[in-house]
């Protein structure tokens, strides 16, 4: 079985967010433990996709796994999967994924860009959970829930506050588990929009085994509507200010958000131990 590691939301290797991609040929899903083991072996969140040739309106079923658990949604691994399918077909295409998060659409272009069409997660202001500011080590301007996305969006005063965060990951993981959240998005407006981006963010999910995610596509389904409302524009660019960094171009279209980026395959090989495939 072919397996790939693809850097998403970047146009160069060893940047953006790496994802494993495993395109299955089975009619049903492998054992969940096996998929977690594959993700652990790769050391990255991994997308598993299987074809749905007989179902109307969708092309592939899609799931995502970290070494610790199944994810409810993963933007960068979806982009990586679309890149793998586009590389195999060598032509622009529209791919419709059936997932537990709903219908996800990817459109590939001849110039190498890929646009994801995801449900928008319009933020609603909520009280900050006890201990969040202390766990992040920052003063929070406001906090927002993101509905089915499961993240908490925390707004700080400026870009430098986002970049200088040094969270207490043990405390943050405990807080996330206690409040039933997926992760924490921290964001602020760009210090200088002439730099090519409109807002910055970082993403922390220690309860899922991810201390800091390099570039979180799904988080931008909440960031895009939040900053679109704040800045008065539907088309924006977000910089995720991790060590690897990555740019996500966003566009709000009603109840959907378009996320555009590029991807680069950095490793491709064959997976030989497929004992979990016979489990259903």
Tens-digit pLDDT string for the chain (280 aa): 899 999 999 999 999 999 999 999 988 999 999 999 999 999 999 999 999 988 889 999 999 998 888 999 999 999 999 999 999 998 899 999 999 999 999 999 999 999 999 999 999 999 999 999 999 999 999 999 999 999 999 999 999 999 999 999 999 999 999 999 999 999 999 999 889 999 999 999 999 889 999 999 999 999 999 999 999 999 999 999 999 999 999 999 999 999 999 999 999 999 887 776 654 4
For 140, how many CA atoms within 13 A lie in the half-sphere containing its CB? Answer: 23
- Residue 97 confidence (pLDDT): 97
What's the CATH number for 2-113+262-278?
3.10.310.10
What's the CATH number for 124-254?
3.10.310.10
- Residue 196 confidence (pLDDT): 95
Maximum distance among all alpha carbons in the chain?
54
- Residue 277 confidence (pLDDT): 67
**CA 218, CA 113: separation in Å to the nearest integer?**
17
Catalytic residue ranges: 45
What backbone torsions phi and psi does residue 88 show, to the nearest 5 degrees? Answer: -70, -35
- Residue 280 confidence (pLDDT): 41
CATH 3.10.310.10 in the chain is located at: 2-113+262-278, 124-254
**CA 18, CA 7: separation in Å to the nearest integer?**
4
- Residue 190 confidence (pLDDT): 98
**CA 20, CA 41: separation in Å to the nearest integer?**
10
SS (H, E, C) the chain: CEEEEEEECCCCCCCCEEEEEEECCCCCCCCHHHHHHHHHHHCCCEEEEEECCCCCCCCEEEEEECCCCEECCCHHHHHHHHHHHHHHHCCCCEEEEEECCEEEEEEECCCCCEEEEEECCCCEEECCCCCHHHHHCCCCCEEEECHHHCEEEEECCCHHHHHCCCCCHHHHHHHHHHCCCCEEEEEEECCCHHHCCCEEEEEEEHHHCEEEECCCCCCHHHHHHHHHHHHCCCEEEEEECCCCCEEEEEEEECCEEEEEECEEEEEEEECCCCHHHHCC
């Amino acid at each position: 079985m072919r397996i790939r590691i693809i850097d998403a939301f970047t146009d160069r290797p060893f940047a953006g967010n790496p994802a494993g991609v495993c395109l299955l040929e089975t009619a049903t899903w492998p054992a969940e433990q096996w998929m977690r083991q594959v993700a652990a072996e790769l050391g990255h969140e991994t997308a598993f996709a299987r074809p749905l040739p007989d179902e109307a309106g969708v092309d592939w079923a899609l799931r995502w796994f970290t070494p610790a658990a199944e994810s409810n949604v993963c933007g960068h691994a979806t982009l990586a999967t679309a890149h793998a399918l586009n590389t195999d077909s060598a032509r622009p295409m529209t791919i419709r994924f059936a997932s537990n998060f709903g219908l996800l659409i990817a459109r590939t272009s001849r110039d190498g860009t890929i646009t994801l069409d995801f449900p928008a997660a319009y933020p609603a202001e909520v009280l900050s959970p006890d201990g969040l500011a202390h766990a992040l080590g920052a003063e929070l301007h406001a906090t927002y829930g993101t509905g089915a996305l499961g993240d908490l969006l925390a707004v700080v005063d400026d870009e430098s506050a986002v970049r200088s965060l040094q969270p207490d990951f043990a405390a943050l993981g405990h807080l996330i588990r206690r409040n039933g959240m997926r992760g924490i998005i921290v964001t602020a407006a760009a210090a200088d929009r002439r730099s090519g981006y409109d807002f910055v963010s970082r993403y922390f999910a220690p309860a899922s085994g991810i201390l800091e995610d390099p570039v979180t596509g799904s988080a931008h389904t909440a960031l895009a509507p939040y900053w679109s409302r704040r800045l008065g524009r539907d088309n924006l660019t977000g910089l995720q200010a991790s060590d690897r960094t990555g740019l996500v171009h966003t566009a709000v279209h009603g109840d959907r958000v378009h996320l555009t980026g590029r991807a680069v395959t950095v490793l491709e090989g064959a997976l030989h131990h497929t004992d979990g495939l016979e489990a259903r």
